[in-house]
Structure 1
Amino acid sequence: MTRRLEAIAAMDAAALVPRLRAALSGDGPALLPRQASPTSAEAFAAPLPAEVSAGVSLVIETSGSTGVPKRVALSTDALLASAAASAGALGGQGQWLLALPAHYIAGVQVLVRSIVAGTEPVLLPAGHFDPTAFARAAQAMTGDARFVSLVPVQLARLLDAAVNDAALRATLQRFDGILVGGQALPPTLRERSLAAGVRVTRTYGSSETCGGCVYDGVPIGTARARLADGQLELGGPMLAEGYLGDPERTDAAFHDADGTRWYRTGDLGAVADDGTVSVLGRADNVIISGGEKVLLDAVERAVRERAGFEEAVVVGAVSDEWGQVPVVVTAGEASVSLAELRARVTAVLGRAAAPARIVTVPELPQLPSGKPDRLAIAALAGLDRMRL
């Protein structure tokens, strides 16, 4: 059996809520929320099929820096399982503030959780993220339990603004849970949150898992994590059906083993004996420098612990001497010298990981999801044609 699939503009989240409710209940078509202006990759994507399998209620187009975006097919059962697991991990259901675009999973899941909880979400106006507008929206919340999902850069801007704004600081403290995901949460940012009395929860997951299914390193609900060939795999009822119209890619990412369906995340990591998950970085974001493997995500985490480099991005560049070397790209003024930064990274990760250069650019391009567009950043910094 099949059901109709309909693309819908995600900019008007208020109009999206009743359509999403109908999709989850089976009274309306499956939905594909889209941003107003498609990316160049989306513009050349294959035509959208008219129908999907009957169990699918939501399709999310993932953003990518190259190639055609993947269309992740999510069933009603998976979305509801994810919402239930999240509520269990957070101590119950409540009212949510939508501060993320609803065309990718972290945003639309705020709406799904609201529908499941029977609460009215408060919607932050679309556009540039502004702490003042966030505070106004948060103050309009009436629920006894209040939650929001953010990406690290949003949290950082809120904490910066709250330093001299006691009312904003109190508003942040009023949240019973602030989920932070989309990319790694820098330890310094987590420490700032705790010092300010703000309750943050670090999440890990993807569109293929209906969003975050690991909270502060612990799989939620009946989610499971394991290590296979050095890469993290996730299992549980919140897994996607696969990629719409792409069985080859689906088979490469999802597989059955030991009676469980698993999703290959493509992330390097570890799973402790107690099940705690640690993420080291993307398996494809590794360079070989002087014969040694260097995880650029690990270098980036070390760099971001230095003041002034909280949003810096580390990319690889060609080196005549070492083969490849890490390079730090930042949009801010460097607060420490290259020698100091190299010493810091060397102490944590070894000499091969030490950055070869700091490059300053006007801004750091982002993907629609809010993650840094590493290919665009490398090109902007001239690293795609530079030899060091």
Structure 2
Amino acid sequence: MELHPTHITLNGTPIRIETLLRKTSGSSDWEKSLLDFLAEWYNDKDFIEVQTSGSTGTPKVIRLNKAFVAASALRTIRFFNLEENDQVLHCLPTRYIAGKLTVVRALIGNLNVHVVDPSTDFSFLQKEPFKFAAMVPNQVQKLLTFVRQPADWNLKFLLIGGSAVPASLEENLQSRQTACYSSYAMTETATHIALRKLNGADASEFYHCLENIEVELSEEGCLRIKMPGLEKPLQTNDLAELRDKKTFQILGRADNVIISGGIKFSPEQLERKLEPHIRQPFMISWLPHETLGQQLILIVEGSQSRASTTRLQTAIHNHLDKFERPRQIRFLPQLPRTPNGKIDRKSVYQD
């Protein structure tokens, strides 16, 4: 495996890495981030620096060995059977780990990588075929909007990551011929360590670990990852259910658990029950309560009205069990979000 090939094929044209490294800046932020990463990958250090998202604790800058990153890229190449000159799409910001890995896959796999603005509408997929692309849920939703006909998705494999795949989006993918996968990933593992098939005959609720990776549970029921390149098993804050050491399902985050009336609730599990029935962005949260300790509440993005409140109350009553039902519904003009688009639970004001 060659970590530093002399060329990369961009948009169908082989380009010498030296030529790209001589460029001082790109014409846009996303092009500049690509050039910045190439400069870091080809420097004389054996690591890259990346910002974690907080999956295993407080967000921080960490160092990932380049060989460790390349091994992750190679696992993806093998899983999706990507071969030399296969056309792959790079539509993620290269400043984040997922975007960096797209570049590394292209380098070590000698792939033909087409780089586009992450804010594209993907209408070009109606004409140009690609074997592989990685996107975040918002981009997939845009793809569904602008390329509506399933036959017009000239894409063999689609990897979706960055946040949980909403139930409504997963349902819309069932009519697509593109094989769609959800990734279980984090910065500390150089992106995904497991994949879940979202559509087709082999769709599953469980993630399946990639080669040479295994998982186990801590005493608290949180997922622990064992993989080559880690000095010790990586402990996450994700509550999980294991089928075996290679197969698991994510239930929610331990640090999001709400204890109300002595009962532990995972807000993510409650949200999954409500997702198909609430149109606007929302989250399950809590307020201090004199007797319950923490009182479940529903926070919804948008303006309050009698009709919207009634619809939400109906969804809560019909799809949540008695003790799961939020006691209050609150509206915010906009839910706070992290830089990569996830709802920022810890920034929601609780009075």
Q: Please indicate, yes or no, whether the TM-score normalized by the shorter chain is above 0.5.
A: yes
Report what 2:225 is aligned to. 234
Aligned mates of 1:321, 1:339 — CA distance in 2: 23
Asked whether the equivalents of residues 289 and 352 of structure 1 are also in contact (C-alpha less than 8 Å), the reply is: no
Report what 2:202 is aligned to. none
Q: Name the aligned partner's letter for residue 156 of structure 1.
A: Q
- In the TM superposition, 1:109-188 aligns within 5 A as 109-125=101-117, 129-131=119-121, 134-136=122-124, 138=125, 145-162=130-147, 165-166=148-149, 169-171=150-152, 173-188=153-168
Asked whether the equivalents of residues 61 and 72 of structure 1 are also in contact (C-alpha less than 8 Å), the reply is: yes
Change in Cα spacing, 1:269 to 1:63, as seen in structure 2 (3 Å) is: closer
- In the TM superposition, 1:1-388 aligns within 5 A as 12-17=29-34, 20-21=37-38, 23-24=40-41, 27-29=42-44, 54-56=45-47, 58-63=48-53, 69-93=59-83, 94-125=86-117, 129-131=119-121, 134-136=122-124, 138=125, 145-162=130-147, 165-166=148-149, 169-171=150-152, 173-216=153-196, 217-229=207-219, 230-237=221-228, 239=230, 261-273=232-244, 275-309=246-280, 311-332=281-302, 334=308, 337-346=311-320, 350-376=321-347, 378-379=348-349, 384-385=350-351
Asked whether the equivalents of residues 105 and 210 of structure 1 are also in contact (C-alpha less than 8 Å), the reply is: yes
Aligned mates of 2:120, 2:179 — CA distance in 1: 20
Q: Identical aligned pairs, as a percentage?
A: 26
Aligned mates of 2:229, 2:317 — CA distance in 1: 43
Q: Structure 1 residue 290: deviation in Å? A: 1.1
Aligned residues: 309
Q: Which runs of 4+ in 1 moved over 3 A?
A: 8-24, 138-142, 332-336
Give the structure-1-normalised TM-score: 0.71
Give the structure-2-normalised TM-score: 0.78
Aligned mates of 2:218, 2:54 — CA distance in 1: 24
- The residue matched to 1:85 in structure 2 has which SS? helix
Change in Cα spacing, 1:318 to 1:198, as seen in structure 2 (3 Å) is: farther
Asked whether the equivalents of residues 301 and 335 of structure 2 are also in contact (C-alpha less than 8 Å), the reply is: yes
- The residue matched to 2:193 in structure 1 has which SS? strand
Asked whether the equivalents of residues 149 and 178 of structure 1 are also in contact (C-alpha less than 8 Å), the reply is: yes
Aligned mates of 1:361, 1:103 — CA distance in 2: 30
Asked whether the equivalents of residues 270 and 284 of structure 2 are also in contact (C-alpha less than 8 Å), the reply is: yes
Aligned mates of 1:141, 1:112 — CA distance in 2: 23
Q: Structure 1 residue 17: deviation in Å? A: 4.5
Alignment root-mean-square deviation, CA: 2.9
- The residue matched to 1:121 in structure 2 has which SS? strand
- The residue matched to 1:233 in structure 2 has which SS? strand
- The residue matched to 1:153 in structure 2 has which SS? helix
Report what 2:21 is aligned to. none
Report what 1:41 is aligned to. none
Q: Structure 1 residue 287: deviation in Å? A: 0.9
Aligned mates of 1:83, 1:146 — CA distance in 2: 16
- The residue matched to 2:255 in structure 1 has which SS? coil
Q: Structure 1 residue 274: deviation in Å? A: 6.4
Q: Structure 1 residue 82: deviation in Å? A: 0.5
Change in Cα spacing, 1:356 to 1:238, as seen in structure 2 (3 Å) is: farther
Change in Cα spacing, 1:223 to 1:16, as seen in structure 2 (3 Å) is: same
Q: Structure 1 residue 19: deviation in Å? A: 5.5
Asked whether the equivalents of residues 214 and 220 of structure 1 are also in contact (C-alpha less than 8 Å), the reply is: yes
Q: Name the aligned partner's letter for residue 266 of structure 2.
A: L
- The residue matched to 2:277 in structure 1 has which SS? coil
Note the residue ranges of structure 1 that are not aligned, 5 or more in a row: 1-7, 30-53, 240-255
Q: Name the aligned partner's letter for residue 28 of structure 1.
A: N
Note the residue ranges of structure 2 that are not aligned, 5 or more in a row: 1-23, 197-206
Q: Structure 1 residue 372: deviation in Å? A: 1.1
Aligned mates of 1:15, 1:161 — CA distance in 2: 27
Q: Structure 1 residue 289: deviation in Å? A: 0.8
Q: Structure 1 residue 64: deviation in Å? A: 5.6
Asked whether the equivalents of residues 232 and 267 of structure 1 are also in contact (C-alpha less than 8 Å), the reply is: yes
Asked whether the equivalents of residues 331 and 362 of structure 1 are also in contact (C-alpha less than 8 Å), the reply is: yes
